[in-house]
Amino acid sequence: MNIIYILDIIGTFVFAISGALAAEEHDLDAFGVTFIAFITALGGGTTRDLLLGIHPLVWVKDVNYLITIFIAVGVALVFKKQILPLRKTFFLFDTIGIGFFTILGLKKAILFAQVSPMIAVIMGMVSATFGGVIRDVFCNEIPLIFRKEIYATACLAGATIYLLLEKLNPDSIANTLTTIFIIILIRFLAVKYKLALNWKRK
């Protein structure tokens, strides 16, 4: 079991919980909760693979992704009273998800599609954010990526740092873990201190 697969399963789990909680807040039924969890967890990776021409889609050939989502939905529903306060305060699961999926998407773009570093960084951002975009659209909310919050920017920064670290020490697990932590930290600090990208002139 390689690091990419582990990252993919972990990212799928936390994003599925994020989607399930978002659906629960909108009073959707069990099918609605599961569907939103599914598109949140797999929407970004599916979009990335379609753009890169990678077939078959990973969740089509590996049932473990669907099992992971079902488990995540169960966890979200059973422990929602304990999880919801964390999600509301720190955007916990979105934050963890974008950290894992950014680096995962970048790695897959380089390994399986052999794209340029710039495109790989963009694919990392797509992997991390597009599931949330689809989730928010279905839940009738403005996607986070289109707000002033530092969200996609954290993904782009982390992916760029990962490539720089790889130049110094290639194929290091430490590079992966370090950049995941950096992305999570940037997002956490942005929410905590209400940092935002505001282009409006006063």
Express each pLDDT in 43-92 by its tens digit: 999 999 999 999 899 899 999 999 999 999 999 989 888 887 776 655 78
Q: Of 59, 56, 61, whose CA–CA distance to 70 is shortest?
A: 59
3-state secondary structure of 149: strand
- Residue 179 and residue 156 in contact, taking contact as beta carbons nearer than 8 Å: no
Q: How many domains does the chain have?
A: 1
In this predicted model, what pLDDT tens digit does every residue of 174-193 receive, in sequence order? 999 999 999 999 998 988 88
198 lies in some domain? no
Q: Where residue 146 falls among pLDDT bands split at 50, 70, 90? A: confident
200 lies in some domain? no
69 lies in some domain? yes
3-state secondary structure of 28: coil
> Cα 6 from chain centroid?
14
199 lies in some domain? no
Instruction: Give the range of the structural domain holding residue 75, as residue numbers without chain letter.
Output: 3-192
103 lies in some domain? yes
- Residue 101 and residue 15 in contact, taking contact as beta carbons nearer than 8 Å: yes
* Backbone region of residue 150 per phi and psi (left: phi > 0; alpha: psi in -120 to 50; beta: other values): beta
Report the share of the chain in percent with pLDDT over 90.
Answer: 64
157 lies in some domain? yes
Q: Where residue 171 falls among pLDDT bands split at 50, 70, 90? A: confident
What backbone phi and psi angles, to 5 degrees, belong to 57?
-60, 145
- Per-residue pLDDT, averaged over 131-157, amounts to 89
191, containing H or E segment: helix 173-192
